[in-house]
Amino acid sequence: MRWGDGRRGLTLFGTTRPFRYPPLMDDPDVIILGAGLVGLTLACALDAHGLRSVLIDPAEPAAALAPGFDGRATAVASASWRMLNAIGVGAQLEGRGCPIARIEVMDGPKPGGLSFDPGRPGDPLGVMFENRDLRAALRARAETGGNIAFRQPARAATVERGAHGVRVALADGGGAELRAPLLVAAEGRNSPTREVAGLRVARWRYDHRAIVTAIGHERPHENVAYEIFYPAGPFALLPMLDGTDGRPRSAVVWSVAAKDGPALAGLPDRAFAAELEKRMGGLLGRVGPIAARSTYPLGFHHAAKITAERLALVGDAAHGIHPIAGQGLNLGFRDVAALAEVLVDGARSGLDLGDPILLDRYQRWRGLDVLSVAAATDGLTRLFGVGGRAASAVRRAGMAAIDRVPAAKGWLMAEARGESGELPTLLRGALV
Amino acid sequence: MASEADGGTIDAREAAHFGALAADWWDPRGSSAPLHQLNPPRLGWLREQIDRHWGADPRDRRPLAGRRALDVGCGAGLVAEPLARLGAAVTGVDAAPENVAAARAHAGLSGLAIDYRATDVAALDGLFDLVTCLEVIEHVPDPRFFVRALAARLGEGGLLVLSTPNRTPRSRAFLIDLAEGLGRIPRGTHDYAKFITPDELGAMLAEAGLRVVDRTGIAWSVGRGFALSDDLSLNYLLCATQG
């Protein structure tokens, strides 16, 4: 039997019966709690280097892979995209992404904006994907990985982290106990494992909500992303591949005052389209149709310490940022790239994968990057979140200034690409 | 006080005592903190030597599978355990029986089978493919004799890896004045007069019939901690083969 077999449940008469998993041939190197985008990516990155992982997630896999489009999309930074290719996920996403050739930053729909020119032909600032395509591709890649096992749906009943290893007992996995040198929490922003470990999170909330959806529109976007700043908050349009109806399509991330959120998100399609057209100032012509909408409170959370005894946090469990720059998932991808490299180096040196020296390296590598991206994104939001004509003039002057200073613009562009700091090997598109 | 090298019986009180000692050795912020910080760069370099010498695949997790390794001055097993994970059948020797007991206790809990012995390398027989001796030679009374004893344990086509502080004003300032002064290394750990330069060590190895095939420095900086470096003035690693 190959390591990782026995991952499927049995569907009989429309219900999934609990499945008794056969024992693993060997203990895994890493137990990953959470089989979302970031957890799956980590498992694939480790698999590509021969490191074994078990993914535990309480969600029904079928529910996570529901065929309908939920309106959510992600701008995968080009460094992240290089990693997805290196670990064998790229092939399944071929032809499903829309490259972002240019980002226009505008203070209201007026001229005088800042345009990020990519400057490198063939190397886009990022590629827009529907989240469901990313999920399906990662899932498909993970299921063919010989070093990946799923325990899903399954819940960790007890988790013990000690000086000599981690033990996880599953609540509904046939009484199985898993052991590994390291536990990774990829459980998202409310990570219970992080709370139990006492890793404190600094958070603040903007008094805003983000409405997220995808829209068809009349005129082609020509692969341009727009960040339009309004006193009430930023409005972002990100180019996507044409819809199934053949209409040009873009993703929308629209920040509105918290009190207006529910009413705006709940408008009938026609009225909602009219509101969007107002914000877009005729930029892409008439709007419609509109995909499913969801709203999120806008906030920022950041765990200063992302490691504890035999534990590492990745993705939203470690940090979440305002989505205006589309950096949330990319930060998670960078966590994966750094952690995978630390663990692969450690394994090849014969170190215990839970060795605090390795976890310290991961902590140092990610700490500064996360904080600088969060601070920059928050700074942008605050700069543009101030109302009034004087502030608007200052902003336009500021943007023009940034446009004229190559170093500042270079930094912002590198940030958009996800290339700041000492780059993990995977983000350069190579295996460690 | 310690159990015999043949692994006889260990009473509960001794087991607890050595467990605590192992816990301190293995605490990355405890008295062995500098050795823990040295581990990633020195093990990384050791891995490069293994790959080069035996033509191993750098991606292989068990490049020492089927090989015998001897770690001399093993302490609580900070090097012996990684060698075992890389696939070697490892023997660890240390002059201090309490270190060996601590090493045994830790390896057991880590699920690693390592043959630890409280003995002198000169009293050992058997031949090994790989002999390591890291941060030890600066503590022995007669390094020339010690190097010959190490060389005698090396089997045909074997590899010897040594590391030790250099004897320079820099190493004295850093390892004795600064590190011991600040309590980062226990006081009295090092005796400057016993430090050996790379050339002196190379000459001792040549006398024992070995040839130095590679060497590297380990430097320290505030930002990066310990890292491999071309600068040999603080601490260095050296790799030797027969002939």
> Looking at beta carbons, which residues of chain B come within 8 Å of A162?
none
Element (H, E) at B212: strand B210-221
The strand pair at A53-56 and A30-33 is best described as parallel
Mean pLDDT value across residues B108-137: 94
Are A350 and B82 an interchain contact pair (Cβ–Cβ within 8 Å)? yes
pLDDT at A246 (0 to 100): 93
Mean pLDDT value across residues B107-130: 94
Report residue A397's pLDDT band, with 50, 70 and 90 as the boundaries. very low
Element (H, E) at B84: helix B80-85
Which of A163, A350, A361 lies closest to B83 in CB terms? Answer: A350
Q: Read off the pLDDT of residues A226-278 as tens digits, 9 standing for 90 and up.
A: 888 787 777 889 999 999 899 999 999 888 888 888 899 899 999 999 999 99
A398 contact partners, CB below 8 Å, separation of at least 6: A383
Mean pLDDT value across residues A15-23: 48
pLDDT at B183 (0 to 100): 74
Q: Taking the complete model, does pTM exceed 0.95, yes or no?
A: no
Residue B138 is given by DSSP the state: G
* pLDDT at residue A385 greater than cutoff 80: no
Q: Read off the pLDDT of residues A129-178 as tens digits, 9 standing for 90 and up.
A: 998 899 999 999 999 999 999 999 899 999 999 999 999 999 865 667 89
pLDDT at A405 (0 to 100): 45
> Looking at beta carbons, which residues of chain B come within 8 Å of A351?
39-40, 43, 82, 85
Are A350 and B40 an interchain contact pair (Cβ–Cβ within 8 Å)? no
- The two tokens of residue B13 are 């009180």
* pLDDT at residue B97 greater than cutoff 60: yes
Q: Read off the pLDDT of residues A66-118 as tens digits, 9 standing for 90 and up.
A: 767 778 888 898 889 999 999 999 999 999 999 988 878 777 766 555 565 55
Mean pLDDT value across residues A193-201: 93
Which stretch of A147-151, B14-18, B134-138 has the lowest confidence by average pLDDT? B14-18
Assess B43–A contact: CB distance below 8 Å, yes or no: yes
Residue of B43, B48, B50 to mutate when probing chain A, most A C-beta within 10 A: B43
pLDDT at A388 (0 to 100): 42
* pLDDT at residue B112 greater than cutoff 90: yes
* pLDDT at residue A380 greater than cutoff 60: no
